[in-house]
Amino acid sequence: MAGDRGHHSRPAQWRGDRRPADPVRVAAYDVLRAVEGDGAYANLVAPRILADAGLSGRDAGFATTLAYGTLRRRGLLDAVLAACVDRPLAEVDVPLLDVLRLGAYQLLFLGTPPHAAVGETVQVARLVGGESRARFVNAVLRRVGERDLDDWVDAVAPDPQADPVGHLSVVQSHPAWIVEALHDSLSSWTGEPSWADTEDLLVADNENASVTLVARPGRIDVDELLDLPGTSPGRWSPYAVALDGGAPSSLGPVRSGAAGVQDEGSQLVALALARADVGDGPDSRWLDMAAGPGGKAALLVGLGLERGAALLAGDRTHHRAQLVAGALRSAPGHHLVVTADGTSAPWREGSFDRVLLDAPCTGLGVLRRRPESRWRRSPSDVAELSALQRALLSAALRSVRIGGVVGYATCSPHLAETTAVVDDAVRAGGVERLDVRPLLPEVDDLGEGPDLRLWPHIHGTDGMYLALLRRTG
């Protein structure tokens, strides 16, 4: 394992008269170990591991594909491996299991010829575990290679008619409780429960998300960003520019903070809140109550600038508040960042004209960007978070003046984190729920409303939710 080998950057080594292990596969393995063994986030740790291994271009791309794909497909890979290992998978030590997953992923999903997939993975096993483990990996992967993906699915997945959740859970590699939660949410939105629709969503979770930039108003125009090579207009947001590839951090406007990396769904959430009608009262004080790391705050400050509004951005932790300060660094207009727990906020009741509560959530709408997170979350997170979401929403409604608007957003479509939280606030009284759809005329397929729901498989955005509540009393 990576830890046994001391550090992640060790180059492939010769063992006796054997070929060296392929550095691309070793790097992918190191990413898996950092994620599975050390609890790292793949999107944060992978760039460092690949750079330490001296990988760039196509090699870095392939290592990322291997690592991300293996993490996402862990559920199905483990179901197949369980059928090929003659003891319970729980008894296979995890580093070795990661090698097996890496090999099985190449065999079943990448169409790597078996001799290459098995041979190269055995070299990784030899490097990290020695000869006996290499033989074990060789034997198991040969068994995996005896069938193709469809045959394995037939062999290991429950029948789709008898057990649609279990079937999709294995085939699309999501924990069963997440399949159920996404199905419930999507069904309530379409009004027609359909496992085929749910499968489309799960398929989208298994694909890589594209990179979108935001042109921050008051700092740079979209047209200027579109002059950069490899860019094209976004699909929905007037501030969005799609990037074909390459590292966004190398672009001048991103380095200066005039542009940022931001999914269109997040842009639309900020935009809808900024467009909501706050009546004849003032529109000069905006609050982003749980703002870290500051993506939406950086857009809001630009949107507020057009009306002379000032933004207060807070986050519970100092570290996250500092990230917000970094995102707002050199932004024009009035803004202030504070470390503050939104549930016991230090500002006076009714201080703000618009409040964004982009609540802490399970992130079930952004699974495509965080390949490991589906395996880390559990149903108990939902219960814990929905209590916090309720407390924060009550505080947000107290923070806004009568006639002002609160935007309650999550990057999870889970009903318990979205409509259930907002329904309770509406039932408690003193608020009017606004229809978000007319505020975003540029976006197709917004369903029955009144809340906004964006879906990866329909809108191509992250799975975002937004309810707008006007305080009436």
For residue 450, is the peptide bond before it cis, meaning its omega torsion is within 30 degrees of 0? Answer: yes
Closest CB to ligand SAM among residues 168, 359: 359
Closest CB to ligand SAM among residues 164, 293: 293
Q: Is 417 in the site for ligand SAM (CB under 6 A)?
A: no
Selected from 343, 347, 426, 430, the binder of ligand SAM by CB under 6 A is 343
Q: Do residues 408 and 379 lie in contact, with contact meaning Cβ atoms separated by under 8 Å?
A: no
Q: Is 341 in the site for ligand SAM (CB under 6 A)?
A: yes
Q: Write down the least CB distance from residue 335 to ligand SAM, Å.
A: 14
Q: Which of the residues 411, 422, 425, 440 is marked catalytic? A: 411
Binding footprint of ligand SAM, residue count (CB under 6 A)? 19
Residue list 290-329, contact with ligand SAM (CB under 6 A): 290-296, 314-317, 320
Q: Is 172 in the site for ligand SAM (CB under 6 A)?
A: no
User: CA-CA distance, 150 to 382, in Å (whole number)?
Assistant: 34
Selected from 121, 266, 399, 461, the binder of ligand SAM by CB under 6 A is 266
Q: Is 360 in the site for ligand SAM (CB under 6 A)?
A: yes
User: CA-CA distance, 127 to 96, in Å (whole number)?
Assistant: 11
CA angle (407, 410, 416) in 5-degree steps:
110
Q: Furthest-apart CA pair in the chain: how many Å?
A: 80
Q: Is 460 in the site for ligand SAM (CB under 6 A)?
A: no
Closest CB to ligand SAM among residues 30, 417: 417
Kindly state the DSSP code that residue 116 receives in the 8-state scheme. H
User: CA-CA distance, 14 to 18, in Å (whole number)?
Assistant: 6
Alpha-carbon dihedral sign for residues 188, 444, 297, 353: negative
Residue 411 falls in the annotated catalytic set = yes
Q: Is 358 in the site for ligand SAM (CB under 6 A)?
A: yes
Q: Write down the least CB distance from residue 130 to ligand SAM, Å.
A: 43
Closest CB to ligand SAM among residues 257, 293: 293
User: CA-CA distance, 345 to 399, in Å (whole number)?
Assistant: 8
Please name the residues in contact with 289: beta carbons below 8 A apart, sequence gap of 6 or more: 314, 342, 345, 355, 356, 357, 358, 392, 395, 396, 399
Closest CB to ligand SAM among residues 100, 213: 213
Residue list 51-110, contact with ligand SAM (CB under 6 A): none
Q: Is 390 in the site for ligand SAM (CB under 6 A)?
A: no
Please name the residues in contact with 166: beta carbons below 8 A apart, sequence gap of 6 or more: 157, 158, 176
Residues near ligand SAM (CB under 6 A)? 266, 290-296, 314-317, 320, 341-343, 358, 360, 392
Q: Which residues are catalytic?
A: 411
